[in-house]
Amino acid sequence: MSPASTNVSTWKKVSVALRNVLSTRLNESMVGVTITGQPFRIGHGDALAYALAVDDANPVYFRKEQPIVSPFFASRILKDVLEQILLHPDLGLNVLRMVHAEQSLRFIQPLAGGEDLIPSARIAAVRTVSAGQILDVEASIERGSERIVEGVCSMLVKGRKKGKGKKTGQGPAEEARESDLVATFSIAPGQPKRYAAASRDYNPIHTVPVVARLAGFKRPIAHGLCVMAMAGTRLVSHFAGGDPTRLESIKVRFARPVYPGEQLSIKVAPGTDPLRFVVLNEKGIPVLSAGQATFR
């Protein structure tokens, strides 16, 4: 299908979300639909706010001359086109049954301010699994005719019945026992609101208790992309000498929700290429599993 470019108003977001509350299946005929976003120019203040929202105070982001932009700011640039895909009126996605399953990002060129960047997203596949359906969305950011970032966002839309498949995270838990601890960090109580403001991801499961409970959580949960960025910045510090431009790719599976106040630890399998890592909660259970990262 041909690319489209649309802006989703707040009212339309609410109306589509309400209409799909009873939806049980994704519309597989939507595979191939592409959304092309409006030109996006990175502002230095916005880039700084995003870095600080994931507790990344790397001095290279604060330079007056040629400041570097966090690679994880790519999720902010892609947020609008991904949202337009997920809230497409013909897709039939029930947001109360949706969880972020996996995310990959490949940084072909570093992000920089002062240039118009074009984000786009394409529905690549709708897959049926034991737990429901998985929606794979390919996303990219281009500078002129040059692609500088690409990745895949996979969302699980949980079915009405619980699947009987193997639980996510069992393998990584075993692997973590033989991995090296490289960093620890925590999710602050106000982190979801700070990240929502910096990323413009205002999904209410992260900030509104009643909506979080309707979605099956005890209370608002941290954004998965926030947890990924917080882990990624620590991997950059440990394995790339604090140079974020050396991060070439990162991929994670969101294995378990993370609640504000939780203490997390990053363990890395020694001698692996790409680098294999897992993020564990206080009980030693993976919250990010099947992690992979490569560095230039």
pLDDT of residue 244 exceeding 60: yes
Residues 6 or more apart from 240 whose CB is under 8 A from it?
246, 247, 295
What pLDDT shows up at residue 161?
64
Enter the DSSP assignment of 262.
Answer: -
pTM: 0.88
Q: Which of 89-98, 227-236, 280-289 has the lowest mean pLDDT?
A: 89-98
What pLDDT shows up at residue 5?
41
What pLDDT shows up at residue 140?
98
Between CA 252 and CA 274 the distance in angstroms is 13
pLDDT of residue 162 exceeding 50: yes
pLDDT band at 169, cuts 50/70/90? very low
Taking only the tens place, the pLDDT of each residue in 81-93 is: 999 999 998 999 9
pLDDT band at 96, cuts 50/70/90? confident
- Complete domains list, the chain, with CATH: 10-295 (3.10.129.10)
Q: Which residues of 238-270 are buried (b: 16+ CB within 10 A; e: fewer)?
A: ebbeeebbbbbbbbbbbbbbbbbebebbbbbbe
What pLDDT shows up at residue 9?
53
Taking only the tens place, the pLDDT of each residue in 203-220 is: 899 999 999 998 889 999
